[in-house]
Amino acid sequence: MYVNDLSFNPCDPLYDVPGLPGAQWGVQLFTTRNFYQLDPDQVTLTPTGSGLRLVGEGLRWAGQQQASAGRVEVDIQLDNGAVVWQMRAWHAEPIKNIKLMLWNLPAGALERGWWQPTSRHDDFYEPVGYHRPRQDYPGSRGTRPLLWNYPWPEWLTPWACAGDASEAVCISVRDPEVRAKRLYVFHPPYASSDVVEVICEEDARRWGGHFAAPPVRLRVCRSQADIDADFAAHQAFLEQAYQLQPWESRPDVPDWMRRIRLVLTLHGMHWTGYTFNTYERMAEALRLVTQHIPGEQVLAYIPGWEGRYYYAYPFYQPAETLGGHDGFKRLVDTGHELGAYLMPMFGMHGANIQVYPDWERSAFRSRTDGFVKFVNFPDWDNDRSGEDDQVFLNPGEPTFRQHLLEQVSRVVSTYGVDGVFLDTSACWFNDPKYNLYEGYKTLVGDLRRRHPDLLVAGEGWYDAVLAVLPVNQSWLGIDRRFRYQSLLAKYGRALGHLANGTPGPGSTGVHEGGFYPINDQAVTPGHILSLGIADDTLDSYRDDVIRICREAALE
């Protein structure tokens, strides 16, 4: 995402952070038409026990040059060593977001860089601003200011830390709803140090004259134990808010899934019609694999089984080219005879407008409902331009959700597959018509009521989606030593991604990734090893397949 900044000093009034000498805070309000600031001449500050209450009876805009009606209230409290902001706003224009700005936080912490629960154990992100040299820093991901978006793609729970055990700053946003949050850190020329911004966005269905943001917490820590305790408190909130349950006892995990050691990705047909494996060839791969790892430890994941990958979405049936109804039934029966489990792939959102003419009813809309939000359009045919036929639909919309439910349910009932994989499920959009997360919960709940023993898995994950989908592919890789493995491993399991290359040159099969050679990788807690089978994998790289299977059986 390209980041823009103001070309002028907005001149926001700033106020002292209670209990943190030198640090200051401010507020900005964003409507669908502009952004507004506190009017310092109309602000009242009132002590309230251990905290403070701010009331702004009027607003300014354009860097304090213009005046506006509006109201902002902020309550600040000290809670268990943390400073907690509760922000509320009123305006005649529909309110999108409220931003908390934090200035002059402890320099020692910020200089050591930022990290989050799913950062590698040795990884920091050090933002580079206007006053710093334009060069990469060790452990950094580039020279742009830091921007993390929740719930996707890079901020999987709204908790972040700058620093280490000697000095750290922890930020936690505790929201019982899945709503957008952004963390932005930069160093503008009008500031003497980094400015940290926490932006909280309202559900677009409720954009109106009032917005109460979720609590934003700031805690300065002086030891690793303090940092760990702050994240543990954040995680405890997640458990309560989203009703997260431990992996070992959650009822939506079939018992067999807890024994899986290897996910076998059996690539079917590419978007162009190129066939990697027929159903019979997939069965042959299962026969080979189960000679070297017990079948009950194998989950066969089957993308592109419905014919041209992504092209037929959202309609799903076995492709005649791959073996048709009878061939797919034999594949499932063969897998079960070998003790393995099978999980075909479906799209949680994807649709081809050429085959699903009712697409506009369910298409994602921009936050202001001004236009259709196009999301993912790979260049499948290699004309070096994304295809024009793919749209993302919102399963929160009842018609599409029911269509998807019937399509998936029919395959489960007809063929007796053990699981279903719902692609792109970690994507999130602030749709003004239908809430995406509520749609997920309804769809998965309906599937499980019809098929109580069915595994429902997805692609990618964030904190709240783990409560709905216990098993997900990982966008982060399986070799990452997360700072806090418990965010995933306590509640769910992650599989190697579809785009992981197969043995040999690394074909990504039906995925648009081309070739992606991978080295052997250690599997970290909460992750399950995956092995892809493309067109020549069994013929040319059989020894690698056997070795990987044997290693998985010993995990």
Tens digits of residue pLDDT in 256-291: 999 999 999 999 999 999 999 999 999 999 999 999
Q: What is the pLDDT of residues 343-368, one digit of tens each?
A: 999 999 999 999 999 999 999 999 99
Q: Which helix (H) or strand (E) element contains residue 326?
A: helix 324-337
Residues in contact with 377: Cβ distance below 8 Å, sequence separation at least 6, in sequence order = 386, 387, 388, 390
**What whole-number distance in Å separates Cα of residue 66 and Cα of residue 5?**
20
Q: How confident is the model at residue 121 (pLDDT cuts 50, 70, 90)?
A: confident
Number of other residues whose CB lies within 10 A of the CB of residue 355: 13
CA dist list (Å): 545 to 340, 424, 513: 17, 27, 21
Number of other residues whose CB lies within 10 A of the CB of residue 190: 12
Q: In the chain, what percentage of residues exceed pLDDT 70? A: 96
Q: What is the pLDDT of residues 67-96, one digit of tens each?
A: 999 999 999 999 999 999 999 999 999 999
**What whole-number distance in Å separates Cα of residue 223 and Cα of residue 218?**
15
Residues in contact with 193: Cβ distance below 8 Å, sequence separation at least 6, in sequence order = 103, 104, 105, 107, 110, 187
**What whole-number distance in Å separates Cα of residue 99 and Cα of residue 77?**
18
Q: Which helix (H) or strand (E) element contains residue 542?
A: helix 542-554
Token reading at 26:
């401010």
Higher pLDDT residue, 525 or 414? 414
Higher pLDDT residue, 476 or 70? 70
Residue 377: predicted pLDDT:
83
Taking the CA of residue 496 as centre, how many other CA atoms within 13 Å lie in the half-sphere pointing to its CB? 27
Q: How confident is the model at residue 2 (pLDDT cuts 50, 70, 90)?
A: low
| 122 has a pLDDT exceeding 90 | no
Q: How confident is the model at residue 522 (pLDDT cuts 50, 70, 90)?
A: confident
DSSP 3-state assignment of 271? coil
Token reading at 249:
């006892």
Residue 123: predicted pLDDT:
85
**pTM of the prediction?**
0.94
Residue 108: predicted pLDDT:
94
Q: What is the mean pLDDT of the chain?
A: 94
Q: What is the pLDDT of residues 24-59, one digit of tens each?
A: 999 999 999 999 999 999 999 999 988 999 999 999
Report the amino acid identity of residue 335. G
CA dist list (Å): 264 to 152, 254, 299, 326, 329: 27, 18, 6, 22, 18
| 333 has a pLDDT exceeding 60 | yes
- φ/ψ of 241, rounded to 5, equals -70, -40
Residue 1: predicted pLDDT:
57
| 172 has a pLDDT exceeding 70 | yes
Give, to the nearest 10 degrees, the angle between helix 279-289 and helix 542-554: 50
Give the range among 15-19, 322-326, 375-379 with minimum mean pLDDT. 375-379
Residue 126: predicted pLDDT:
65
Residue 485: predicted pLDDT:
95
Which domains, from first to last, does the chain contain? 15-242 (2.70.98), 255-349+395-411+423-440+460-468+475-554 (no CATH)
**What whole-number distance in Å separates Cα of residue 293 and Cα of residue 289?**
6
With beta carbons less than 8 A apart as the criterion, state whether 196 and 129 touch. Answer: no
Residue 511: predicted pLDDT:
96
Q: What are the E-state strand segments in 286-349?
A: 298-302, 341-347
Q: Rounded mean pLDDT of 383-389?
A: 90
Give the range among 127-141, 156-170, 436-450 with minimum mean pLDDT. 127-141
Residue 124: predicted pLDDT:
86
- φ/ψ of 318, rounded to 5, equals -60, 140
**What whole-number distance in Å separates Cα of residue 115 and Cα of residue 554?**
33
Q: How confident is the model at residue 138 (pLDDT cuts 50, 70, 90)?
A: very low
Q: Rounded mean pLDDT of 530-535?
A: 96
| 143 has a pLDDT exceeding 90 | no
| 133 has a pLDDT exceeding 60 | no
Higher pLDDT residue, 139 or 201? 201
Q: What are the E-state strand segments in 62-194?
A: 66-79, 82-90, 95-103, 114-115, 146-150, 159-164, 167-173, 181-186
Token reading at 458:
């997805």
Residue 518: predicted pLDDT:
81
Residues in contact with 1: Cβ distance below 8 Å, sequence separation at least 6, in sequence order = 147, 149
Q: Is 220 left (phi over 0), alpha (psi -120 to 50) or beta?
A: beta
CA dist list (Å): 191 to 8, 11, 13, 24, 102: 12, 11, 13, 12, 11
**What whole-number distance in Å separates Cα of residue 241 and Cα of residue 437?**
14
With beta carbons less than 8 A apart as the criterion, state whether 140 and 123 touch. Answer: no
**What whole-number distance in Å separates Cα of residue 104 and Cα of residue 40?**
20
Number of other residues whose CB lies within 10 A of the CB of residue 211: 24
Higher pLDDT residue, 337 or 371? 337
**What whole-number distance in Å separates Cα of residue 545 and Cα of residue 542?**
5
Q: How confident is the model at residue 169 (pLDDT cuts 50, 70, 90)?
A: very high
Q: Which of 35, 528, 466 is nearest to 297 (CA)?
A: 528
Sequence length of the chain is 555
Token reading at 151:
């719930």
Q: Rounded mean pLDDT of 376-396?
A: 92
Q: Which of 104, 89, 97, 90 is nearest to 17 (CA)?
A: 104
**What whole-number distance in Å separates Cα of residue 522 and Cα of residue 460?**
19
